[in-house]
Amino acid sequence: MVSVTILYGLLFLSVAVGTAATILAWRVRSEPGAKPLVALLLGQSWWSTCLIFRLQATTIDAKLLWTDLAWPGVVIIPVAWLLFSLEYTGRDEYIRPRYVALLAVVPAITVVLALTTPYHDLLYARPLGFGRTGVFLVTQGGPWYWVIAAYTYLLGLGGIIPLLGLLTSDAVTFRGQSTALILGLSVPWLTNVLFLADVFATSGIDPTPVAFSVSGVAYLGALTRFRLFGTSPAPNKRARKFLFDRMQDGALVVDMNGYVVEVNDSCVDLLGTAAPTLLGAPAADVIPDYEQFPDEGSLPGHLLVGDTAGGQPYDVTVTPITNVRGDTIGRVVTFHDIGEHLRQQQRLTVLNRVLRHNIRTETNLIHGYVDRFADDEDAEIVKKRALRIEELGKKGRDAIELFDKSTAGRTPRPLASVLDRAVSTVRTASPAATISVPDVADDVFVAGLLDVVFTNLVENAVEHNPAPEPHVSITVTTTADRVIVEVADDGPGIEDYELRVLRDGTETPLDHGSGLGLWLVQWGVEIADGWVEFATPESRGTVVTVGVPRLPPPSSGP
């Protein structure tokens, strides 16, 4: 009686824990995998409940009835488990009505056979009866019993496989979820295997429902401790495919035999060929000049694709795909449209030419006419304005060159030479200015394009200071990975509206700066991956602080 009492207690515990987990799962039934998990938990609870009534039954017919009624709960568990695993891990493309219907064929046949056991021996090959202990038993399963058993294990294994990938996830939550879920299935699964192997002396009573108390606790832990439906991996798989398909750059995957095995929407558009035609086709037949592509890296120059006016230019990059052993198993080819970039370069080239030649020519003409027809204060004003126009043209050229060399300009240069060049330029134009520069170690390197930044900072500090002898002080602080340069002056300070425009990052007809100098400073620092701050101390002047990465010395080459 003690063993039967314990058995009842475990079965009631299984039903209670399963019911609690079912309620929690049902409350978040809109989450991926929640509804199949509800079906699984209901199946477990129903099986345990039927076993309780079977133990309490006093006649063979009653026991047989509860044995047969338990089968719907038995067969729904493996189907629900597989559907849960697929939906929870983002493989819901397999959860379609026709697939679910196919999965339900064997369980449906099992339920029909269970309800018609008096007329055949397909589920039970021998008569049902009482054992020596008085407990109801089944002495041997029939042919279909082993079919449904194998089917159950097959679906159980199929559901575990997708979850195994989460065991190696970088997210601790996903690892905990998958561990709890696999444990929740493995304990009753292993119990059933041992029962079928006659390891348990249970007088014909399948102890699998008892093991549901362990699986219920595991599912509760997954729901509460590891936020089973609060943090879901379902979007991950679909997101990778979505990002690949919707990325702006064209991309396709080529296997090691040179055949296209995957292609995204942008690549379909740029190649002008339908996806079914591209997939499975030799890459050399559908991609222009494919034989010239490198095994890895970027294609020299650019690739012209299309029929319009010579074709659209693309940068082509080839990236190998490797397996866990590091062996190359394919390549990803990406196409980046550089048509607008090339047109922008052309526009900058034309603008540079206009700023370099045309403005200078026009200002020289103004000087010549003013010298011929006037020699008074108004003429000097005209000359100064002409020089101002020429200076703006120079700033414009500096901006164009800054953008044009944004990548090449990152080449490391000694900070000492960058500052010396900036100071020398300003001293030549304003010999009355006093500029103090600290000694900088020879091993301090920064991006070469910063010469434009520091030249403009020192130049602005001198030009906008009405004092006869402007003073500028430069200080340098270095760390292992950062260089901080302060440029302080004793001038009137930068107007608030100038700084406001820089903070806003844009100009309007009513709110704009007076020139390009401060913009050149900000743009150059941004390109160099640094930051800049403007401060006005209580005393007169301005302090501009620039922080940029400290770069390693350039390699000397072979």
Sequence spans of domains, the chain: 2-234, 247-337, 343-404, 409-558
Is residue 122 a contact partner of residue 142, using CB atoms and an 8 Å limit? yes
pLDDT in tens, 141-176: 788 988 998 998 899 888 888 888 777 766 667 777
In DSSP notation, 239-290 reads: HHHHHHHH-SSEEEEEETTSBEEEE-HHHHHHHTS-HHHHTTSBHHHHSTTG
| Averaged pLDDT, groups of 10, the chain, 558 residues long | 65 82 84 87 88 82 85 91 86 85 94 88 66 51 87 89 76 74 78 71 66 72 69 66 80 90 88 87 90 90 72 88 84 86 60 58 67 64 65 61 58 91 88 90 89 86 84 92 92 75 55 60 83 80 91 70
Task: Return the pLDDT at 558.
Answer: 40
User: Structure pTM?
Assistant: 0.52
Task: Return the pLDDT at 326.
Answer: 83
Integer Cα distance of 270 and 150 in angstroms: 50
Count of CB atoms situated within 10 Å of the CB of 363: 19
In DSSP notation, 496-552 reads: HHHHHHHHHT---SSS--S-SHHHHHHHHHHHTT-EEEEE--SSSSEEEEEEEEPBP
Task: Return the pLDDT at 2.
Answer: 40
- Amino acid identity for residue 94 in this structure: Y
Q: At what angle do helices 450-463 and 517-527 cross, to 10 degrees?
A: 150
Task: Return the pLDDT at 144.
Answer: 92
- As given in the structure block, the two tokens for residue 280 are 């499975």
Q: Which class in CATH covers the domain with range 409-558?
A: alpha beta
461 Cβ contact list (under 8 Å, min separation 6): 470, 472, 487, 489, 491, 542
Task: Return the pLDDT at 88.
Answer: 82
Integer Cα distance of 289 and 473 in angstroms: 58
Integer Cα distance of 469 and 303 in angstroms: 57
Task: Return the pLDDT at 1.
Answer: 41
Within its chain, how far is the Cα of 558 from the centroid? 38
In CATH terms, the fold of domain 247-337 is Beta-Lactamase (3.30.450)
Task: Return the pLDDT at 160.
Answer: 86
548 Cβ contact list (under 8 Å, min separation 6): 446, 447, 450, 482, 483, 485, 525, 528, 529, 530
In CATH terms, the fold of domain 2-234 is Rhopdopsin 7-helix transmembrane proteins (1.20.1070)
Longest dimension (CA), the chain: 132
